[in-house]
Structure 1
Amino acid sequence: MSKLAALDELLERYDQLSYHRQSKILSRLQDVQAWQKTRMQRSHQTHFSAKQNQLMADYFLNRLYGGPDFDALATQIKRLMKYAHKAEKVIPENAIKTGTLGVELAILAVQLDEQVAIQLLKDYPADTPLNDEMMRLAYIKLDQTQARLKQLELLDQLGHSLDKYMRSFMVYTAFKMCKGAANKYNFQVMYEFMQEGFLAMKPLKSAEQFVRDFTQGERHIIDRVHAGDLRPFQ
């Protein structure tokens, strides 16, 4: 069985999301994603603003939480599957697993936020500007607690994998050797997705610690939302 098979299943799940076919959901999803990014920047301001954390914080907000280029990335990953046998010869197995986890997190973030967008469309006119109270109530109605906790658990796994597998000189050397092929066969978006991850790790003493500090804060917010705190995002 191909080591890249898991990506096929993830992309199938991504293609089934409603926003691909319903413009109202897409528009509201984009509002939710914008709110999420602003909220996370606010909630983790001290953590994200530390000099060594800035690149990884940007990678989190713009890549792992459903960046604007994700549709293009998904398209390139589908094309890669046609060359799976060749790709597996040059990409280390642990790099494939780590990359797959990153893609899974990006898709899960979109999936959860789409659920929020759909709930908001049920409760308010589509052009109502989002605010914290609307989001708080949507979270309570949906009760995504377990799914959000799973998301944070996967993030913790990613942090561990980044430190364990992706700091290797051999892995990075193999990755850089793929740049020419990435340009030749039009896989630039996918290459840049991975390259930004490598660059974001460089200033960090530990990617795992960065992620753990972030997920600890997010778990605290989830607890506050479902404990009835009226200002859980403050």
Structure 2
Amino acid sequence: MSSDQRWKLAGIVSIVSIGGVLITDIVANVVGGYISDQIKTWQVPIQPPAQNQAQANHDASGVDAEAVSSIPAPANETRVTMAAVAPKPQAAPMPPIDLPPESPPEAATAPEPMPLPPEPQPVMLTGTVEQVIDTGTLKIQGETIELAGIKGLGSPYRDQLAKFIEEQGSQIRCEPISERYVCFVSNVDLGLAALTNGAARPAADATPQYRQAADDARRNRRGIFQ
């Protein structure tokens, strides 16, 4: 082969080599771009950038997230603060108060007894002798009375006294002495007359005059002393 032929062959090989390189680059760029586009659709970002996330939130809800975070909380919303849960300070204990010693209770004094009403005093009686119960007991105007200073006796001395009262008109006047009476018929003391005739015995409240009349009846053996 001549030299001219060799140069022509070398030039053809060079052109073919350059053309192959260009075709290879073109194919590589086309295939590489297609593959790159497919790979990008498969990738899922783990944490999108803050600007993209805010833009995505704004695009999804139509409300700006920053604008929402800047809206103040409602006035009536209860907010828990540290003061609400913090323990309240305990009040300081009160200092002890010195109380004066208790005085012993005063002895209860018994109330003064109420004075008793005075006993009703017998009143003077006047009227007619209705009955001689014994020589010391008479019934006058429906009331029974006892003669003072004597112990009365029954029959026959009771009947003798009843006859004497009847002979004097049966009208009698009785004056009270304590709970008993001194009675008079025609100004004659019936108790003294009974003792003088031995028709009664002297009682504990007998006056000296009454006792002397009883002694006189005993000496003269009158009545019960016969």
Q: TM-score, normalised by structure 2?
A: 0.19
> Is the helix fraction higher in 1 or 2?
1
Higher RCO (CA < 8 A, seq sep 6+)? 1
> Is the strand fraction higher in 1 or 2?
2
Between structure 1 and structure 2, the one with the greater Rg is 2
Q: TM-score, normalised by structure 1?
A: 0.18
